[in-house]
């Protein structure tokens, strides 16, 4: 009997690393979570993860063979297989993580940033299966993005393409963590909508600011569900800016669809309706009523691991 192929999928986060084994249909046969911060050296994390993978593969040995490893990581450089100066990790400088895994597991290993992994995940296992041109926007603490054109992810000459969250929307706008002002992600992200909501409250109740700052985007969503006018306005303002940004984005790559992923995208019509309304109002004529804005079809709990798995499935061309 021919053995079926599995891939190892690893998602490196600032707090936790999630890893697992995934088959070519996207079935997750193993999923584990360990603390990234627990490993001051990347070699130690690689050792720990590989021990677990080895053990699991021995259990699966009769039916499966390990075909490769895919890694999603902050500041991941696909070309070099490295994590480069990731501000949220303890590992400093340039970490050759793909090489550490491939040396240990003796299979091809690829690494990319989290947003690119999620994007390939959407293409292999999600809503973009039949698409060659689409954009994925991740709405989390910040705004990440991956752009697929001609069936390939756009990496750019240095693997750092797809930073739509850092398009400057308002040159004198909100201070961004990148040091500049008015970046899209200062408005359209969990952080952004919290600020917008706080600003709306502040304009009427001077004392409510602190409370909102400690809340979450989910809290604002809950408020909107209850009919809170400020919460609904916060979603509308966020969608207005996001729609304009997406209208500008399609002038670059004319995608078939744009997928929204992450916490804010879970707010359904509260975010999709004003975004689509602003998009269609602001977009160039030739793109009007042609481009779908859709929720990601990946389950948020498994998106990171399926994204990492997709990276290697795509690289091996075995989907």
Interface residues with a second copy (CB under 8 A) are 131-133, 147, 149-150, 152, 154-164, 166-168, 171, 178-180, 244, 247-256, 282, 284-287, 290
Task: Please report how close the Cβ of residue 287 comes to a second copy at its closest, in angstroms.
Answer: 7
Between residues 214 and 289, which has the closer beta carbon with respect to a second copy? 289
Task: Please report how close the Cβ of residue 292 comes to a second copy at its closest, in angstroms.
Answer: 10
CB 8 within 8 A of CB 19: yes
**Residue 203, φ and ψ in degrees, nearest 5:** -65, -15
Tell me how far apart the alpha carbons of residues 162 and 182 are, in angstroms, rounded to a whole number. 17
Between residues 16 and 253, which has the closer beta carbon with respect to a second copy? 253
Half-sphere exposure of 313 (CA within 13 A, CB side): 25
Tell me how far apart the alpha carbons of residues 318 and 273 are, in angstroms, rounded to a whole number. 37
Between residues 88 and 299, which has the closer beta carbon with respect to a second copy? 88
Between residues 59 and 79, which has the closer beta carbon with respect to a second copy? 79
Task: Please report how close the Cβ of residue 175 comes to a second copy at its closest, in angstroms.
Answer: 14
Between residues 16 and 254, which has the closer beta carbon with respect to a second copy? 254
What DSSP character marks residue 126? S
Helices (H), the chain: 42-60, 97-105, 114-125, 190-202, 209-213, 217-225, 229-253, 269-282, 300-316
CB 30 within 8 A of CB 21: yes
Task: Please report how close the Cβ of residue 126 comes to a second copy at its closest, in angstroms.
Answer: 17
């Amino acid at each position: 009997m021919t053995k079926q192929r599995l891939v190892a999928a690893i998602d490196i986060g600032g707090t936790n690393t999630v890893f697992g084994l995934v088959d070519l249909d996207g079935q997750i046969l193993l999923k584990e979570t360990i603390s990234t911060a627990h490993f001051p050296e990347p070699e130690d994390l690689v050792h720990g993860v590989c021990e677990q993978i080895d053990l699991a593969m021995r259990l699966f040995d009769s039916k499966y063979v390990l075909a490769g490893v895919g890694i999603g990581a902050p500041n991941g450089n696909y070309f070099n297989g490295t994590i480069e100066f990731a501000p949220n990790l303890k590992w400093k400088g340039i970490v050759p993580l793909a090489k550490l895994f491939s040396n240990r597991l003796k299979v091809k290993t690829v690494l990319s940033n989290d947003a690119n992994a999620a994007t390939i995940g959407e293409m292999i296992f999600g809503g973009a299966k039949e698409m060659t041109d689409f954009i994925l926007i991740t709405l989390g603490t910040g705004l990440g993005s991956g752009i697929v054109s001609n069936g390939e992810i756009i990496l750019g000459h240095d693997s750092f393409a797809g930073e739509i969250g850092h398009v400057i929307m308002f040159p004198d706008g909100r201070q961004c963590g990148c040091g500049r002002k008015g970046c899209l992600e200062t408005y359209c992200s969990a952080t952004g909508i919290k600020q917008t909501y706080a600003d709306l409250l502040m304009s009427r109740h001077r004392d409510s600011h602190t409370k909102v700052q400690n809340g979450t985007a989910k809290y604002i969503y809950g408020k909107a569900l209850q009919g809170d006018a400020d919460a609904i306005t916060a979603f509308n303002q966020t969608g207005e800016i996001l729609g304009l940004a997406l209208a500008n984005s399609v002038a670059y790559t004319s995608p078939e669809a744009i997928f929204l992923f992450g916490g804010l995208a879970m707010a359904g019509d509260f975010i999709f309706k004003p975004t689509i309304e602003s998009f269609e109002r602001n977009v160039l004529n030739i793109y009007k009523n042609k481009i779908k804005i859709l929720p990601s079809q990946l389950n948020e709990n498994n998106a990171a691991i399926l994204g990492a798995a997709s990276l290697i499935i795509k690289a091996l061309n075995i989907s």
